[in-house]
Amino acid sequence: MARSKARRFEAERPDITMDDVAGSDHAKEDLKEIIDYLKAPSRYQSLGASIPKGVLMMGPPGTGKTLMAKAIAGEANVPFFSISGSEFIEMFVGVGAARVRDLFAKAKEEAPAIIFIDEIDSIGRSRGTGVGGGHDEREQTLNQILNEMDGFEKHQTVIVLAATNRPDVLDPALMRPGRFDRKITLDQPHKKAREAILRVHTRRIPLADNVDLSKLATRTIGFSGADLENLANEAALLAGRQRNQQVSMEHFDNARDKIVLGAEREGSLSETDKRVVAYHESGHALISALLPNTDPLDKVTILPRGRALGVTEQTPEEERYNVRYSYLRDRIAVMLGGRAAERLIFNETSTGAESDLEQATALARRMVSRWGMNKRLGPVAFRRGEDHVFLGREINQPPDFSEHTARMIDEEIVRLLGEIDEQVANLLQEHRAKLEALAQALLAHETLDAEAIQATLAKH
């Protein structure tokens, strides 16, 4: 039971190399330096350099942390031991620490070597926190890892790689220099990286001549590497289901819609519901077309997909890392456009606006209380609900603002949403003919792309 469950990978038969990892160029360069050190340690030691004892790869799920570790295993001509953090933990206290000792003993015997611990947050969380105190087995396992990493000799070439998507919960002792000396962040891929990832995942897929991976990369903003792999697989499955010999751009578009919007639901709406949904989605689309700071429209449909009765989809022209007040305000206006259109046409509203209202309220709250976008409250951030209960940082901790301030925040959120809702209602009243035209086009065709929307609006 005390033996380590780590799996040893043979370097002679690598399945994945760095060529299979697209994007994340900065991370690849940092890790290639580690591999180069393991192959020729004397070159670095002669300059007085020592290899980092630990390398922590951080990033959202699906950005390729485990894939990067597999590529290192394929590139480095050294023993590679891989284990998940949860595999250390057992019912009996002390077993995890024994497995840590056994793992590091094996690695030291075969040094130079690499140890890879996936999902290290399962054993590396802050000690002595949480409801009811700590967790003896997990904390003893963490203590043993800290001891092993700090006990390396100066030039002992054993490197610990770890991956996590929750660096905020890790113990400070694990994050300090001497344990994990180097921290590598893997972000969501940008456009060129997404195109390169798509090329990797479509190497074995027979593509039709109309497939444009650059255009597809533009339409997949926010997709991780895992999402793009899933997109390519869904397109291939769809082509196979239709008995096609090649995967076309239409297959990729349908696969993307299935991933983003959800699969089409069986059953049809009643004529009354279909008419309500058509005006609701037309309200979103029209406000998006009228306001200057919105993302371009891509598609509007009244076919039920996933949990939605209809969808208005916008595609940003570029990744946004910093958004302005005007963009956020217009974004809320688009969210409220559907409800305002229902109120204008039917003189009442429906429950279909629930998700729109939730998103608009959450965004308005951040604008008022987090980003200082309110004259009455000023440039102050009122944070609440940020820490997690299991870390023990929120219980018995008083809020950092008074009840009077909380009331002011609520009042300003209501005022902001009310102003935008009034603006949206006036715009829809002014351009009612366009709203009617869009709704009739949706009722006739059920789905409109960007060109069809522009053509419909141009007639009025």
Active site residues: 281
Hey, what long-range contacts does 320-328 have (CB within 8 A, 24 or more apart)? 324/293, 325/367, 325/373, 326/292, 326/293, 327/293, 327/294, 328/363, 328/367, 328/373
The answer to whether the beta carbons of residues 64 and 186 sit under 8 Å apart is: yes
Describe the strand order of the beta sheet including 297-301 as a list of residue ranges.
Answer: 311-314, 297-301, 447-449
Handedness of CA 197, 200, 201, 203 (dihedral sign): positive
The answer to whether the beta carbons of residues 11 and 78 sit under 8 Å apart is: yes
Cα–Cα distances in angstroms (integers) from residue 30 to residues 27, 33, 157, 182, in the given order: 5, 5, 17, 9
Distant-in-sequence, close-in-space partners of 233: CB < 8 Å, separation ≥ 6: 201
> In sequence order, what DSSP letters do the residues of 271-301 get, joined into one string?
HHHHHHHHHHHHHHHHHHHHSTTSPPEEEEE
The phi and psi torsions of 77 (rounded to 5 degrees) equal -90, 50
Determine the Cα–Cα distance for residues 15 and 176; give it in Å rounded to an integer.
33
54-58 and 158-164 strand pairing: parallel
Determine the Cα–Cα distance for residues 216 and 208; give it in Å rounded to an integer.
14
Question: DSSP code of 371?
Answer: S
Interhelix angle 325-346/271-290, rounded to 10 degrees, is 150
Indicate the SS3 state at residue 125.
strand
Whose CA is closest to 178, among 151, 213, 208, 215? 151
Rounding to the nearest 10 degrees, give the CA dihedral for residues 102, 106, 111, 117: -60
